[in-house]
Structure 1
């Protein structure tokens, strides 16, 4: 009890520190913005600008605070993973696997060949471990396309015939995907959940090596209070230029952000819906999602299930934690901007459902914070678009910009926004550059710095495109516009310019209009307005060019977007025969210092 009380006090102090840092950063940023807007006093325009800026802040400030904490832990802790997940120190590599664990692969209208490619090395490793009898693979299909279903059943039947005498495998297909992925897993829990103690959740594009699965099981075995343990997920090496640059930035940002947030969130950690392990009994008993509404015979289900399931698990008294190691699992990233936007809008719709759930009884304060932040992640987009519109109008209509904003404080504010915006990636980049082995893993300091610069420009283009996409979609939600769960195209493919322009004409119009007005009225301000309007103006060519196979292959060969797995590929990734790893195996073009 003494240890529990001490741990509780430590966690309270950590959360208090984060809260103070968050609030001080919020207030300081707003004061800086108010000072920048001070010329001529405060009018309606200034109040509106400050209000919109306040809406954009929480997501950036949370990222900055998490990155700062994460960087300190990464640089000054002897074991950053143990610092945020003490249970890892109780586990030894030779600890036996005694619990029965289900591995749940959820698929819907996917190409089974790719899914089986990712499963084969995992099954081989589990069989070689000597613990195959402790695992049971469940292929849980929600495929509704009749033609795909025929091929899926044939491929999965062959998989069972190949591996069935070494490890248990079951295949089930629902004809109606009620409740989406959460309903798929709920159906498993009700049918077979009482047969197993744990469940590993996988998406169709997930890849987890056997040793990662065994490690998650070992940690769950030593900590009976753990309800969900989430593994860190990184992108599989890709030959799509769009995905390569995205996965490089994601790798840098996830490292500091996850460690920093795990340090203060503690037992209220994240669940991302896949590449994680669940304790099945409490999950079945406490994590059934509430029905949002029933319109006649049509049920409206929660789309983004993971955050709510984590909150319900913690409300039931079980811990939800993250294991921030980068060798636990991989996933495919969307190969093009248009595919990325489709996935992003599905997340947007799911996160907007959380406002009905923030007030659920028994949720912890941290869980409510996570739900609110998930909503603000997308609510901030219309605020950014509003700021772009107001900035354009102010520059086009004013005689002297100094009457609107102080140039000296405004420059400081802009720099501060960029620091907050990129802070998780900056922290990750500094951590790499300060460690010789890390620099080598990313292909050398020179290549790494070039890649960081490319990714920074890429993000400055990408984010405003997404902000406009979110804004249009959220406006459509007022008229009950929904996103259906469409088939995801995971393979590299071309994006014709005509298609890109058809889908991205609103971004193009907003960007070009803003740039044109500023160029006509205040051409000196063009470099500043480019940060918000440049990306939308070139959205269509950006979508087309980043999907070019020629550029993607060239990037893989020259090390643009290079990941550590391409410098020294783990054996289990070699089994996937990824083209990006084959291209990266050629002699490097730059120094590996």
Structure 2
């Protein structure tokens, strides 16, 4: 059932027994049984935290009520007919995710500007500064048909850092593979042989490959926990592109050691410097939206925080005892194994009485971001399918009320997209028909539009304000002009991108209703060009809708065109955006110009500098031209998955 490359043998009997244990919680019953040996509740249900949560809920609901009233007044010329009510309902479904982001940003900005140590306001735990490193830690690197060279490069840097600090005896490395393609398996074998030759006498190194992959990544980890979990106190979960520097890892281990009721500790994950134009814009925007949003959410979520499935520490015993995932019943695309496993495991850990927290600091925890729009959409649709499975888990008994709300919000994250598309399509159609009555009240439409845009961009605006107000952080991003220019460019890009993503989500969810689902394949991580034909093949629905709506609005003068056209122009330009943002020449230009640069690129730590990343070299003045990358394992693998999905 699995292969250990130390002996290059297969032991089906032992593996089957381990796997049976690992997935014993799976059943045809979609509900998860009540937790065994329930633990006492965490301390974050204190009155002050409950007040924060009620205050946050009240702020969101009050704002939503005001916006709904404003939208009703905006649609009021000629009275509210049936189509106006449809528009109003669609508008309401788009609001929750936007409003939560807005209030998280407001709270986050207040914490950043009013307190010298905002972390202390949202992370009331012992940071374990002097705690001994007496925990046994398993480093779990999960891989499936990925570029093995990158995986072993990252593991090599992490182990080298632990050796330098003299603490490597507390850690073991486990490469958990679900690879099925021969060339990837061969590369893993070669990489593991070299890795063992260097580190095999320093720490325990294990390579285990399953012959099939029930449960995908979650099943992979569950099999490890059943087979080896009793040997460890903590497990560091890494994806194939994950990287963590030594200081961050040791700090997390000490925090977990000092707080025995902490079940999951999640880090903020920073994008590695990239020479892809798309990745640069994306990770720049993520970087500016991340800190304020996460600080704000941690203020009211407290011990019911998020788990994103990687770059996080798990406490092994409660994870094994309480976080088993069900096998969802039925035969449709929302049945079977839980795909977006992370948030489910988080709410089960919290149900068991253990805290789940995020460390809202931009520390040395890294990942690689998608390098093209097509790869970003493919990843987004995988998450969409996984999050919609939560519909079958909302009735899970014993969940903390906030945990149940988090599952609902994860669903609404994608469900809002078809309502946006429907709202815009109906509004454009009614504008084209032009009954003689204005669609929008001119006294309300523009103010409402700018209010919504402000709320959408609030997390990024909050962090821009904070960076500009802090001389040291301002310099780390290359100075105020680069911050402002980058923020404006990213805002324009994300505005054009929003309809492309919303339409992709909508088309995909329509397909789910007819049984269509995605192949759960690897991410194509290397920078590469996108052919026009491939972009058209993936983005023709956006292009056709954008073309039709833009033409209709062009024939209709007035404020309606100004309000709706940005949405449809972005859809119309979907193919050019996908092709241009992936062009290696554009990537070379913006990287050399340090546009959308992040601090890790402009002032890399010795740890990051050892990776010799192309973006760091170019930002430092290298004139070595970017060549189109040779097909590598991850490129070949993802191309195969792209064709089969």
TMscore range, shorter length: over 0.9
Counterpart residue number, 2:128: 91
| Residue 530 (structure 1) aligned to one of 556, 562, 565 | 565
Q: Within 5 Å, which residues of 2 pair with 1:460-475?
A: 460-475=495-510
Distance in structure 1 (CA, Å) of the matches to 2:621 and 2:145 = 36
Tell whether 2:540 aligns with 1:505: yes
Counterpart residue number, 1:74: 112
| Residue 449 (structure 2) aligned to one of 397, 414, 438 | 414
| Residue 322 (structure 1) aligned to one of 311, 335, 358 | 358
Tell whether 2:367 aligns with 1:367: no
Secondary structure in structure 2 of the residue aligned to 1:582: helix
**Conserved in 2, the CA contact under 8 Å of 1:103 and 1:136?**
yes
My pick for the range that moved more, 224-233 or 404-413, is 404-413
| Residue 54 (structure 1) aligned to one of 67, 80, 92 | 92
Unaligned residue ranges in structure 2 (runs of 5+): 1-40, 623-645
Counterpart residue number, 1:479: 514
Q: Within 5 Å, which residues of 2 pair with 1:181-200?
A: 181-200=217-236
Tell whether 2:135 aligns with 1:114: no
Counterpart residue number, 1:213: 249
Counterpart residue number, 2:65: 27
Distance in structure 1 (CA, Å) of the matches to 2:519 and 2:44 = 48
After TM superposition, give the deviation of residue 237 of structure 1 in Å.
0.7
Distance in structure 2 (CA, Å) of the matches to 1:505 and 1:98 = 56
CA deviations over 1:98-156 (Å, ceiling 9, x no partner) = 11011100000011111112122111111111111100111000101122112211211
CA deviations over 1:252-307 (Å, ceiling 9, x no partner) = 111111110011000000000000000000000000011102659x9810000000
Distance in structure 2 (CA, Å) of the matches to 1:373 and 1:295 = 25
Counterpart residue number, 2:440: 405
Tell whether 2:181 aligns with 1:145: yes
**Conserved in 1, the CA contact under 8 Å of 2:241 and 2:367?**
yes
**Conserved in 2, the CA contact under 8 Å of 1:566 and 1:581?**
yes
**Conserved in 1, the CA contact under 8 Å of 2:42 and 2:303?**
no
Distance in structure 2 (CA, Å) of the matches to 1:16 and 1:554 = 49
| Residue 568 (structure 1) aligned to one of 588, 600, 603 | 603
Distance in structure 2 (CA, Å) of the matches to 1:157 and 1:285 = 34
Distance in structure 2 (CA, Å) of the matches to 1:289 and 1:524 = 51
**Conserved in 2, the CA contact under 8 Å of 1:127 and 1:167?**
no
After TM superposition, give the deviation of residue 524 of structure 1 in Å.
5.6
Distance in structure 1 (CA, Å) of the matches to 2:55 and 2:159 = 44
Distance in structure 2 (CA, Å) of the matches to 1:96 and 1:53 = 53
Distance in structure 2 (CA, Å) of the matches to 1:401 and 1:265 = 46
Distance in structure 1 (CA, Å) of the matches to 2:435 and 2:66 = 30
Secondary structure in structure 1 of the residue aligned to 2:555: helix
Tell whether 2:480 aligns with 1:441: no
| Residue 380 (structure 1) aligned to one of 416, 419, 431 | 416
Tell whether 2:124 aligns with 1:63: no
After TM superposition, give the deviation of residue 531 of structure 1 in Å.
2.1
Please report the TM-score for the alignment, with normalisation by the length of structure 2.
Answer: 0.88
After TM superposition, give the deviation of residue 584 of structure 1 in Å.
1.3
Distance in structure 2 (CA, Å) of the matches to 1:526 and 1:165 = 68
**Conserved in 2, the CA contact under 8 Å of 1:112 and 1:156?**
no
After TM superposition, give the deviation of residue 353 of structure 1 in Å.
0.2
Tell whether 2:528 aligns with 1:493: yes
CA deviations over 1:496-534 (Å, ceiling 9, x no partner) = 112111211110000111000110132664332222111
Please report the TM-score for the alignment, with normalisation by the length of structure 1.
Answer: 0.96
Per the alignment, do residues 362 and 6 of structure 1 end up closer, same or farther by CA in structure 2, a change over 3 Å counting? Answer: closer
Unaligned residue ranges in structure 1 (runs of 5+): 588-593
Distance in structure 2 (CA, Å) of the matches to 1:279 and 1:304 = 20
My pick for the range that moved more, 48-57 or 491-500, is 491-500
**Conserved in 2, the CA contact under 8 Å of 1:231 and 1:328?**
no
Distance in structure 1 (CA, Å) of the matches to 2:212 and 2:335 = 12
Secondary structure in structure 2 of the residue aligned to 1:321: strand
Counterpart residue number, 1:540: 575
**Conserved in 1, the CA contact under 8 Å of 2:70 and 2:444?**
yes
My pick for the range that moved more, 465-474 or 386-395, is 386-395
Distance in structure 1 (CA, Å) of the matches to 2:250 and 2:218 = 24
Tell whether 2:317 aligns with 1:270: no
| Residue 135 (structure 1) aligned to one of 168, 171, 177 | 171
**Conserved in 2, the CA contact under 8 Å of 1:396 and 1:522?**
no
Counterpart residue number, 1:283: 319
After TM superposition, give the deviation of residue 91 of structure 1 in Å.
2.0
CA deviations over 1:29-80 (Å, ceiling 9, x no partner) = 1111111111111110110000000010001011011111111111111211
Secondary structure in structure 1 of the residue aligned to 2:561: helix
| Residue 423 (structure 1) aligned to one of 458, 461, 469 | 458
Counterpart residue number, 2:592: 557
CA deviations over 1:377-407 (Å, ceiling 9, x no partner) = 11101001101111111210124453x2111
Counterpart residue number, 1:11: 49
Secondary structure in structure 2 of the residue aligned to 1:86: coil
Counterpart residue number, 1:246: 282
Counterpart residue number, 2:635: none
My pick for the range that moved more, 257-266 or 154-163, is 154-163
Q: How many residues align?
A: 581
After TM superposition, give the deviation of residue 586 of structure 1 in Å.
2.8
Secondary structure in structure 1 of the residue aligned to 2:520: coil
Per the alignment, do residues 191 and 294 of structure 1 end up closer, same or farther by CA in structure 2, a change over 3 Å counting? Answer: farther
**Conserved in 1, the CA contact under 8 Å of 2:527 and 2:582?**
yes
**Conserved in 2, the CA contact under 8 Å of 1:226 and 1:279?**
yes
Per the alignment, do residues 27 and 154 of structure 1 end up closer, same or farther by CA in structure 2, a change over 3 Å counting? Answer: same
After TM superposition, give the deviation of residue 175 of structure 1 in Å.
1.2
CA deviations over 1:338-373 (Å, ceiling 9, x no partner) = 111110100000000001101100101111111001
